[in-house]
Structure 1
Amino acid sequence: MERRQTPEILNYRNENGHGWSFYINDGVLRRVSTTPEDDMEIIRNVQKLELRDDDVIIAAYSKCGTHWLWEIVTMLRAGNSEYHKKKKEIAMLGMPKLERADELPSPRVLNSHLHFCHLPEKLVEKRIKTIFIMRNPKDVSVSYYHHVSGLKQDAGFEGTYSEYLDLFLEGKVSGGGYVDYVKDWRQVKQDNPDLPILTLFYENLKKDPVKNIKTVADFIGESVTNELCEQIAEACSFKKMKAADTEVKEAFGNSSDIWKESHKGMYRKGEVGDWKNWITVAQDERFDDVIDRKFEAKGIVFTYE
């Protein structure tokens, strides 16, 4: 039997000890939560997942609207604007102990923050419909900071936003660099022209939800009325989704094991342009140098307000 080599642990904590340890899996930076071996086993299980012809996969970098889009697609599949009683984590690929994808009835709406190389191997062969959603990186960085600063244990972050931003711009956060993630998916689309991929922008979905919900419905092959799209848009407004998260959704696991006592949960603001309350002029210039110009060079122009 071939003996697997133990991956090198990369310590990317800053001088104040804030940050995380990582290892590299297929060229992708992966945060070490327990051991690299455990994480590699999780990835292998995802890659071996048996896909069904009517599956839909939502692919997104963290804090780009995965919850929002999952609710929308789930409602479109159900043909109504009622919330699914379960949280999207039951269908999230690569989430240890919480994922229940194998047990879900068809049609499934799967979701993931994983890079393409770590998703089920049959995705292209089966031509699984995939929805890729992007959000402007400045709002992503702020939202991601608040997310990790609310987490307990090794996943959490105790430093300031400025400290977190340094790591974010260097790609030393869970999920790796945002530019690399988007670049990866654009390459997938280019290399696999027969794979049905719909690309959405968070800001467009926010500005005109009904139009974008209809676009999603057409892509996944659901015949819908304008009235249903309006009902889904209303049910999936940030305020109503935040309320449903506590009033309708069944809890998974013990939230006190995940979130700090002072943290208010997964939903914060969901706004476009909140980054202006956090990012200084100097930091904004760094964004332009490190991230924005790379996106513009690839023809990707984000909406920042």
Structure 2
Amino acid sequence: MESQQTPEILDYRNENGHGWSFYKHDGILRAVLTNPEDDKEMIRKVQKLELRDDDVMIAAYPKCGTHWLWEIVNMIRAGNSEYNKKAKGFAMLELPKSERADKLPSPRVLNSHLYFRHLPEEMAEKRIKTIFIMRNPKDVSVSLYNHVKGSKKFTTFDRTYSEFLDLFLEGKVPGGGYVDYLKDWQQVKQDNPDLPFLTLFYENLKEDPVKNIKAVADFIGQSVTDELCQEIAEACSFKKMKVADAEVKEDYAERSETWKEGHTGMFRKGEVGDWKNWITVAQNERFDDVIDRTFKATGIAFTYE
């Protein structure tokens, strides 16, 4: 039985006072963005969420293409290239009021950045089809930096990318360590061989969207034409999704409450290799060293440009 004691708060802010504090829950570092007890209650609610047999779950570390893939899967299921009127936040399990997902009509496309053991307990029992998408860690670090710097939610960091990179490489950012997240999901696949599981790479989806959209459709058992796949690929291009996000979507929260003034919101560039505009030669050497020592153990080969 889990201890009811107040969790120990681990202060991992840097020497300049920027960064986050964390607490440990089920062996996972969770950034203290709210009261830890409220955070644990959110996880308990997610774990008890009742799943439906035709649910699809999209799982990813932050800034790896969750939003993009969520739009694609919704379009495949709808059989057209029209945007879902609701923002993906309505179907994101860990956001406040996660019970919103319970009110969504079937078939649902759920999404989450949570570890598997914090997702609904029925995932394995109901053999929920799960799509896992990854992105190269260098672009993830840049995208996550811009996200946290522009969000009103992450109030304890407003510094340079260089400072953020130090924290990212140590796994001391919201979302925790990227390599830890990947290793945990790899273990999930090994431990749950009956769980229907599709792995995608952000970079492959960018390079050949039609091929990857077909793969997703096959995985979820949906018949699609080449023409529909092309239409979905075009509708889910970065520029068009950015416009749709601003003009079409019913959001789960007021944008002015979510983003700082002047910030572009959820969409910034969506490019492969943008890290080259941010990471210095010395930082890249350090990054490569971390990748060699940690990510190589996963056996995952990333594409960086």
TM-score, normalised on structure 2?
Answer: 0.97
Whether the 8 Å contact between 1:20 and 1:155 is mirrored in structure 2 is: no
Residues 12 and 22 in structure 1, CA contact (< 8 A), matched pair in contact too: yes
Q: Find the aligned partners of 1:58 and 1:200 in 2 and give their Cα distance.
A: 11
Q: What is the distance in 2 between the residues matched to 1:236 and 1:2?
A: 43
Distance 1:12 1:78 in 2: 44
Superimposed CA distance per residue, residues 247-272 of structure 1 (whole angstroms, 9 cap, x where no aligned partner):
11123322222211121111000000
Hey, what does 1:303 align to over in structure 2? Answer: 303
Change (3 A) 1:188 1:274: same
Q: Aligned to 1:198, what secondary structure does the other structure show?
A: strand
Counterparts of 1:140 and 1:221, CA distance in 2? 30
How big is the shift at 1:157?
A: 2.1
- Distance in 2 between residues matched to 1:237 and 1:41, nearest whole Å: 37
5+ residue gaps, structure 2: none
**For residue 71 of structure 2, what is the aligned residue in structure 1?**
71
RMSD: 1.5
**Amino acid paired to 1:104:** L
Contact 1:98 1:252 in 2 (8 A): no
- Which amino acid in 2 is paired with 1:251? D
Shift, 1:21, TM fit: 1.2
Hey, what's the Cα distance between the residues in 2 that align with 1:302 and 1:49? Answer: 34
What is the identity, as a one-letter code, of the residue corresponding to 2:291?
I
> Distance in 1 between the 2:93 and 2:281 partners?
38
The residue that corresponds to 2:34 in the other structure is 34
Residue 19 of structure 1 deviates from its aligned partner by 0.6
- Number of paired residues? 305
Instruction: Give the distance between the partners of 1:166 and 1:2, measured in 2 at CA.
Output: 32
- Alpha-carbon contact 1:63-1:144 (below 8 Å) kept: yes
Residue 172 of structure 1 aligns to which amino acid in structure 2? K
Aligned counterpart, 1:52: 52
Whole-Å Cα distance in 2 between the matches of residues 292 and 135 of structure 1?
16
In structure 2, what is the Cα distance between the partners aligned to 1:303 and 1:31?
A: 29
- Answer whether contact 2:18 2:156 (CA < 8 A) is retained: no
User: 2 CA distance for matches of 1:280 and 1:21?
Assistant: 27
Whether the 8 Å CA contact 2:46–2:98 is kept in 1: the answer is no
* Paired position in structure 1 for 2:227: 227
Tell me how far 1:288 sits from its aligned partner: 1.5
Runs of 4+ in 1 over 6 A off after TM superposition: none
Contact residue 242 and residue 267 of structure 1 kept, 8 A: yes
Q: Distance in 2 between matches of 1:204 and 1:225?
A: 20
Aligned to 2:277: 277
Cα distance in structure 1, aligned partners of 2:276 and 2:111 = 29
Determine helix, strand or coil for the equivalent of 1:29: strand
- Consecutive unaligned residues of structure 1, counting only runs of 5 or more, are none
8 Å contact kept, 2:135–2:201: yes
Per the alignment, do residues 153 and 242 of structure 1 end up closer, same or farther by CA in structure 2, a change over 3 Å counting? closer
Rounded to whole Å, the distance in 1 between the matches of 2:284 and 2:2 is 49
Partner of 2:240: 240
Answer yes or no: is the 8 Å Cα contact 1:169–1:291 preserved in 2.
Answer: no
